[in-house]
Copies of this chain bind each other. A is one copy, B any other.
Amino acid sequence: MNELAIVEYLRKLAARANAARVVRGAPARPAPGKRDRRTVSGAQAASGLILGIGDDCAVVRPRAGEDLLFKSDQIVEDIHFRRGIAPAIVGQRALARALSDIAAMGGEPRLCLVSLTVPQDLGERFIRAFYRGLLAEARRTGTVLAGGDLAHAEKIYCDVCILGAVPKGQALRRDGARPGDAIFVSGSLGKPWDRRIEPRLELGRSLLGKATACMDISDGLALDLHRLCVASHVAAHVTAVPIHRGATLDRALHGGEDYELLFTMPASMRPPKGVMRIGTVVPAKHGKEGEVFFQGEPLPPRGYDHFQQPLQ
């Protein structure tokens, strides 16, 4: 596919995924004999997209009373995954990782941009399967594909940039945990890489105004809880961990790529259904902010680190 063909291809993909024609927002007379493409579909109208793929930028109209969430997330072959994994799963995960960050702030996703490089020998078949997985996830979560780019390179590389929204001033941050708060996770830890990620969008939204701190677990519980505690200037006692079937305790504590939510709430508050309490926030000793104890012993903030240990 040459570059023009790719733009056309992305445009068609997006149109199909968004169940609508390419969006034309600002007034422009339709050309003689052309249908007027200014109609906006439900998904696109909800996303605020008023000009989609095919111009220099996507144009988005923000809604009153909302803050926007802005994040990008990259995956690289042989660092985050090996080529044996199904392309549709790679595509699903590429988007779902970014969606998980939106969930962690209590937001809802609106638009995404997808930059992809693929080796020449994988070609079109890989690209189609990758986008099939990515766009199914986009449809499922109401995320509109607003742009993207494709290039050739020796390795598969994908960067997804996402724009989400949250009621003004209500984004869930990492820095509000207080001593006495209960600590929860949304699911089992230590999952393998070759599966779909389930971004916890509904749960995240249900925590608005309730959770004192929230983040997603992308680099392992030990490291991520440490980060949450550093941001909040507190320490934590962990008493129990839900271990994924077949995983080791070490993987549940220090493995990456779980994409469950980790959050704190006042202990007196009723937690949402289906989450598991794993411990309690405690005051940090002087100079020991971020300290995490597991069953009474200090838990080192060791997790998945891209600069040290490539995943299997």
Interface on A for B, CB 8 Å cutoff? 1-4, 6, 24-26, 28, 31-32, 34, 50-51, 54-62, 64, 66-74, 76, 78-80, 101-102, 104-105, 107, 111, 113, 115, 117, 146-155, 157, 159, 161, 163-164, 166, 168-171, 173-176, 215-216, 219, 223, 227, 231-233, 289, 301, 305-308
CB distance from A58 to the nearest CB of B (A): 4
Q: Which B-chain residue is minimally distant from A62 (CB atoms)?
A: B62
Partner of A175 from B1, B28, B301 at Cβ < 8 Å: B28
Partner of A117 from B69, B71, B76, B104 at Cβ < 8 Å: B76
The DSSP consensus for interface residues of chain A is mixed
Which residues of B have CB within 8 Å of A73?
115, 149
With A2-B305, A67-B50, A215-B55 in contact, do A24 and B175 touch (Cβ < 8 Å)? yes
A113:B72 contact, CB within 8 angstroms: yes
A-B contact pairs, 21 of them (CB 8 A): A2-B305, A2-B308, A4-B227, A24-B175, A26-B173, A54-B231, A55-B215, A55-B231, A57-B71, A57-B102, A61-B67, A62-B68, A68-B163, A72-B72, A72-B113, A76-B153, A79-B153, A117-B157, A150-B307, A153-B155, A153-B157
B171:A59 contact, CB within 8 angstroms: yes
Which residues of B have CB within 8 Å of A24?
175
Which residues of B have CB within 8 Å of A174?
54-56
CB distance from A202 to the nearest CB of B (A): 16
- Identical chains bound together, number: 2
A72:B175 contact, CB within 8 angstroms: no
Q: Which B-chain residue is minimally distant from A113 (CB atoms)?
A: B72
Q: Give complex CA distance A104, B56 in Å.
A: 7
Q: With contacts A2-B305, A68-B163, A157-B157 known, what are 16 further pairs, Cβ within 8 A?
A: A4-B223, A28-B175, A32-B233, A54-B231, A56-B174, A57-B70, A57-B105, A58-B71, A59-B166, A70-B163, A72-B148, A72-B149, A74-B117, A151-B307, A154-B154, A155-B155
CB distance from A114 to the nearest CB of B (A): 8
